[in-house]
């Protein structure tokens, strides 16, 4: 059956005739239908499911997809789950699930005669598109203004992307993060899970930024006629979808997302597929929740230590959310859970530094300096909060004592300091992570 574009917002529909980013009638996100859940292409990876994909003579592939579904007993035990599985998308060519979408989109764009791409998408999406554009011999121009993620920026530069956002010329295809061809590629991750398990798990857990991944996996499950519950997780500094879920709204609507977030890829103030992610979570009996960044950082380390899988902060957000959902009984101990590890931590070695250097923006000026200063003071050895408060005053940083306590609590939540009570007084010291951060930033 020939693929068609379909807009769930306004009902517009048309036969597939090449890449098309948004609904020409209402501007809403598009889907390509039908999604055919059975493999028919042989081999492994995304192109094993050609029934779902647009007709392409010669795909642009780097060997994406076909990732393992790993039993994660030790981290499961820490979280309180007996049957936790990790779909390890960090193994993809550029280190993220996005490669599944890029292979489909770039193949289709080349097939349709486009010589170059342009994207305003950020992070993993831009880095992955750049790799596939390179493999296809196509140009790509990306808008990196406001980027805070150097690992992904280096990827873009090495893949030969034009970073001005201008260089692709008039005939370039504009790729948004919610492009229906990208979405179609993402859907294959769920089809692989189905093939591996032979049935749907009880839960699928994913981080939520634009909402595209959650929606794409849900669509695949819907097409297969066996829908697990979906748990979407956002990071608290920017969680419009989770807020809309809590408040019973159908759509997140544009929201303020002040300051940087450690899970920068997820920080979407106006998520294009947010309404669809909400729909998927509700229809499946799941939820969208949000977690603190400190928890995410802790679980990033926990997952690496327990399972040997190093994920980036955005994926760690999902682990932290699952831990919360298991703790409050939303996810039962005996239920089978598939957690999607969306991207590798190797892209993101400065995630922790960004938390301290960039997080407390939008508040009082100078807070950033204060936290680093506190860490610097602790580098010399354990200190009491009162002593730290006095030392800050000596340096002309006149904070109240409760403000100093708050900074210390936040640093502790980030895993950068620890405290113990000694002789009735609380004593703070650096953790190894705090030491690592200071040396990473070159702060004494």
Q: Which is nearer to Zn ion, 14 or 436 (CB)?
A: 14
Quick check: 9 binds Zn ion (CB under 5 A)? yes
Quick check: 10 binds Zn ion (CB under 5 A)? yes
Quick check: 275 binds Zn ion (CB under 5 A)? no
Q: CA–CA separation, 258 vs 53, rounded Å?
A: 38
Count the alpha carbons within 13 Å of 213 in the hemisphere toward its beta carbon.
31
Q: Which is nearer to Zn ion, 226 or 250 (CB)?
A: 250
CA dihedral 341, 347, 351, 353 (to 10 degrees): 160
Q: Which is nearer to Zn ion, 23 or 133 (CB)?
A: 23
What is the token pair recorded at 302? 């926990």
Quick check: 120 binds Zn ion (CB under 5 A)? no
Count the alpha carbons within 13 Å of 273 in the hemisphere toward its beta carbon.
32
Strand 13-15 to 4-7 pairing:
antiparallel
Quick check: 12 binds Zn ion (CB under 5 A)? yes
Q: Which is nearer to Zn ion, 9 or 419 (CB)?
A: 9
Minimal distance, residue 101 CB to Zn ion, in Å: 21
Closest-CA residue to 231 (of 206, 194, 211, 249): 206
Q: CA–CA separation, 335 vs 314, rounded Å?
A: 24
List C-alpha distances in Å: 412 to 17, 352, 363: 54, 13, 19
Q: Which stretch binds Zn ion (CB under 5 A): 6-14, 189-197, 244-252, 341-349?
A: 6-14
Residue 148 in contact with residue 358, Cβ under 8 Å? Answer: yes
Q: Which of 13, 28, 69, 120 binds Zn ion (CB under 5 A)?
A: 28
Minimal distance, residue 28 CB to Zn ion, in Å: 4
Listing DSSP states for 31-67 in one string gives EEE----S--S-SSSGGG-GGGSPP-SS---SS----
Minimal distance, residue 6 CB to Zn ion, in Å: 9
Q: CA–CA separation, 132 vs 228, rounded Å?
A: 32
Q: Which is nearer to Zn ion, 26 or 157 (CB)?
A: 26
Minimal distance, residue 122 CB to Zn ion, in Å: 25
Q: Which stretch binds Zn ion (CB under 5 A): 4-12, 249-257, 296-304, 427-435?
A: 4-12
Q: Which stretch binds Zn ion (CB under 5 A): 7-15, 82-90, 191-199, 363-371?
A: 7-15
Quick check: 327 binds Zn ion (CB under 5 A)? no
| Helical residues (DSSP H) of 159-246, grouped into ranges | 180-197, 212-224, 240-246
Q: Which stretch binds Zn ion (CB under 5 A): 15-23, 67-75, 277-285, 401-409?
A: 15-23
Q: What phi and psi values does residue 33 have, to the nearest 5 degrees? A: -125, 155
Q: CA–CA separation, 72 vs 89, rounded Å?
A: 14
Minimal distance, residue 272 CB to Zn ion, in Å: 13
SS3 262: coil
**What number of chain residues touch Zn ion (CB under 5 A)?**
8
Residue 438 in contact with residue 376, Cβ under 8 Å? Answer: yes
Q: Which of 17, 18, 26, 327 binds Zn ion (CB under 5 A)?
A: 26
Quick check: 33 binds Zn ion (CB under 5 A)? no
Quick check: 30 binds Zn ion (CB under 5 A)? no
Minimal distance, residue 102 CB to Zn ion, in Å: 25
Quick check: 208 binds Zn ion (CB under 5 A)? no
Q: Which stretch binds Zn ion (CB under 5 A): 16-24, 116-124, 208-216, 418-426?
A: 16-24
Quick check: 25 binds Zn ion (CB under 5 A)? yes
Quick check: 13 binds Zn ion (CB under 5 A)? no
* List of residues contacting Zn ion (CB under 5 A): 7, 9-10, 12, 23, 25-26, 28
């Amino acid at each position: 059956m020939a693929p068609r574009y379909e807009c769930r917002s306004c009902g517009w529909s048309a036969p597939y005739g090449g890449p098309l980013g948004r609904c020409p009638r209402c501007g809403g996100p598009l889907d390509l239908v039908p999604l055919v859940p059975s493999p028919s292409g042989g081999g492994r990876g995304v192109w094993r499911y050609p029934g779902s994909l647009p007709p392409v003579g010669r795909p642009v592939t780097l060997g994406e997809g076909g990732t393992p579904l790993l039993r994660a007993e030790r981290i499961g035990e820490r979280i309180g789950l007996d049957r936790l599985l990790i779909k390890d998308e960090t193994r993809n060519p550029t280190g993220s699930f996005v490669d599944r979408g890029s292979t489909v989109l770039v193949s289709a764009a080349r097939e349709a005669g486009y010589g170059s791409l342009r994207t305003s998408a950020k992070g993993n999406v831009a880095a992955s598109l750049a790799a596939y554009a390179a493999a296809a011999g196509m140009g790509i121009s990306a808008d990196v203004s406001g980027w805070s993620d150097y690992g992904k920026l280096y990827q873009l530069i090495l893949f030969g992307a034009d970073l001005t956002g201008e260089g692709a010329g008039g005939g370039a295809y504009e790729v948004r993060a919610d492009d229906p061809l990208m979405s179609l590629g993402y859907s294959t991750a769920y089809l692989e899970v189905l093939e591996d398990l032979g049935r749907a798990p009880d839960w699928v857990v994913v981080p939520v930024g634009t909402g595209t991944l959650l929606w794409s996996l849900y669509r695949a499950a819907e097409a297969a006629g066996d829908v697990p519950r979906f748990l979407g997780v956002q990071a608290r500094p920017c969680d419009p979808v989770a807020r809309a879920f809590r408040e019973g709204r159908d759509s997140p609507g544009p929201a303020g997302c002040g300051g940087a977030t450690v899970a920068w890829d997820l920080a979407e103030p106006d998520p294009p597929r947010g309404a669809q992610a909400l729909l998927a979570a509700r229809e499946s009996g799941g939820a969208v929740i949000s977690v603190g960044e400190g928890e995410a950082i802790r679980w990033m380390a926990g997952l690496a230590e327990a399972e040997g899988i190093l994920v980036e902060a955005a994926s760690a957000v999902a682990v932290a959310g699952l831990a919360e959902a298991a703790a409050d009984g939303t996810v039962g101990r005996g239920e089978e859970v598939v957690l999607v590890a969306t991207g590798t931590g190797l892209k993101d070695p400065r995630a922790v530094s960004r938390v301290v250097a960039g997080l407390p923006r939008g508040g009082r000026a100078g807070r950033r300096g204060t936290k680093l200063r506190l860490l610097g003071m602790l580098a010399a050895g354990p200190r009491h909060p009162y002593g730290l408060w006095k030392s800050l005053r000596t340096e002309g940083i006149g904070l109240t004592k409760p403000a100093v306590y708050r900074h210390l609590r936040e640093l502790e939540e980030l895993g950068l300091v620890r405290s113990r009570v000694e002789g009735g007084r609380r004593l703070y010291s650096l953790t190894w992570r705090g030491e690592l951060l200071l040396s990473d930033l070159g702060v004494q």
